Amino acid sequence: MKALTQVFQRPVWLDNTLKGTAPSLKQRQPMLVLPKEHYSEFQRSYKAALTDLPKLIRNELKVLSAAGNKAIWKVQGNDNGRYQVLFAVIPASTLSLLAPGWCLLIPETWILYRLLSKRTLYKVQADTPYWAWLTEANVLHLTQIQGLMANSAFFLDALGENSEGVTIEALSLKQKLQQQKLPLKWWELAGCLIYVAAQHTKPNTNYKKLAIFAGAAATAYMLVLSSFLAWQESSLQASVQQLQAEASTLFDQQQALDKKADVIAQYHALYQRFPASGIILHQLSSQLTEDIVLENIQLSGPLMQIRGVSTSAINVLAKLTGDSTWKEVKFDRNIQKVSNGESFTISLVFNDDKAGAGNEE
Residues 81 and 229 in one domain: no
Same domain, 296 and 209: no
Q: Is the pLDDT of residue 22 over 50?
A: no
- Are 308 and 232 contained in the same domain? no
Q: With 90 as the cut, is the pLDDT of residue 170 above it?
A: yes
Same domain, 131 and 187: yes
Angle between helices 275-287 and 205-273 (to 10 degrees): 100
Question: How many structural domains does the chain have?
Answer: 3
Phi, psi of 258 (to 5 degrees): -65, -40
Asked whether residue 108 falls in the same domain as residue 196, the answer is yes
Q: What integer is the mean pLDDT of 45-55?
A: 89
**Do residues 229 and 91 both lie within one domain?**
no
Nearest Cα neighbor of 33 from 129, 102, 108, 127 is 108
Q: Is 226 within 8 Å of 187 (Cβ atoms)? A: no
pLDDT of residue 136 exceeding 60, the answer is yes
Q: How far apart are CA 69 and CA 95, in angstroms?
A: 8
Residues 295-316 have a mean pLDDT of: 89
From 200, 229, 249, give the residue that closes a domain.
200
Is residue 226 located within the same domain as residue 164? no
Q: Clarify whether residues 39 and 106 are in a common domain.
A: yes
Decide if pLDDT at 96 tops 80: yes
**What Cα–Cα distance (Å) separates residue 346 from each residue in 56, 309, 318?**
77, 11, 11
- Residue 10's pLDDT is 62
**Which residues span the domain enclosing 268?**
202-273
The pLDDT tens digits for 194-214 are 888 876 555 555 667 777 888
List CB contacts of 254: < 8 A, sequence separation 6 or more: none
Do 196 and 218 reside in the same domain of the chain? no
- How many CB atoms sit inside 10 A of residue 125's CB? 14
Q: Domain end: 171, 200, 229, which one?
A: 200
Question: What is the C-alpha separation between 345 and 295, in angstroms, rounded?
Answer: 10
Average pLDDT, the chain: 81
For position 298, which CATH number holds? 3.30.1360.100
- Both 210 and 188 in one domain: the answer is no
Domain end position, chosen among 200, 222, 256: 200
Mean pLDDT of 288-311: 87
- Kindly state whether residues 40 and 130 are assigned to the same domain: yes
| pLDDT tens for each residue of 339-351 | 889 999 999 998 8
Judged on CB neighbours under 10 Å (0-12, 13-18, 19+), 313 is buried
Quick one: 327 exposed, middle or buried, by C-beta within 10 A (0-12, 13-18, 19+)? middle
In a shared domain, residues 145 and 252: no
